[in-house]
Amino acid sequence: MRIDDVRNVLSANDRIAVANRERFGRWGAYVVNLMSAPGAGKTTILERTLAGLDGRYRTAVIEGDVRGSYDRDRLRAVADVPVVQINTEEVYGGECHLDALMIGNALENVDLGGTELIVIENVGNLVCPAEFDVGENCKVMVSSVTEGEDKPLKYPLMYSVCDALLLNKIDLASAVDFDRETFLANVRAVNPALTIIELSARTGQGVATWLTWLEQKLTA
């Protein structure tokens, strides 16, 4: 794809994102775009988040996958919240990300008015999701210690556009010889202002810190 074509695609996306953001604003909803590589632990963190919030906020989830509804079914088993499924394979050619048009189309099929928190679980990918504004209030990425220390340098855009980084699976750090200081230095080289929260979605360690950060955003 030529550079001009890419610019046109992103420009069109940004216009739709503005419309999405205006709609979310009318509802009074705070929207989190949750992104990561496949297998980093987004869905498990989202399960912990829904359980930890314990119904204090009217919450909905928009679930993005290329195919299937496995993650949607997991979330529905944890909390009684609306979960809207987007499968990019069915209509959008199997795209490896969600864009503003996909979100806007999904919103036409569900009434989320009065919702206070919407979490968009993006398709697992460290590249494309970072390029597309979908109308969110903040971007949060999940990075797993099992991915190694070099990912901030290999995929800098994802780390540079996000407001918070959840460093997941810290309970496995010693088992995979994860060099924490090198990873943090690499993150800081890309985005010195990035908020970093270390946690384990499996054990629950650090999840309270993440929930505190999120609730501060919700009540600001």
Residues 6+ apart with CB under 8 A from 169: 41, 144, 145, 146, 200, 201, 202
* pLDDT tens digits for range 61-98: 999 999 999 999 999 988 899 999 999 998 888 999 99
Provide the mean pLDDT of the chain. 94
pTM of the model: 0.94
Q: How many residues does the chain have?
A: 220
Say yes or no to pLDDT of 3 above 70: no
Question: The CATH number of 3-219 is which of 3.40.50.300, 2.60.120.10, 3.30.830.10, 3.40.630.10?
Answer: 3.40.50.300
Do 155 and 40 touch, CB atoms closer than 8 A?
A: no
- Residues contacting 195, CB < 8 A, separation 6+: 163, 164, 165, 213
pLDDT band at 5 (very low <50, low <70, confident <90, very high): very low
13-22, 84-93, 171-180: which has the minimum mean pLDDT?
84-93
Greater model confidence, 8 or 143: 143
Share of the chain above pLDDT 90, in %: 88
Coil, helix or strand for 87? strand
Percent of the chain exceeding pLDDT 70 equals: 96
- pLDDT digits 0-9 by tens, 183-218: 999 999 999 999 999 999 999 999 999 999 999 999
Residue 7's pLDDT band, with cuts at 50, 70 and 90, is low
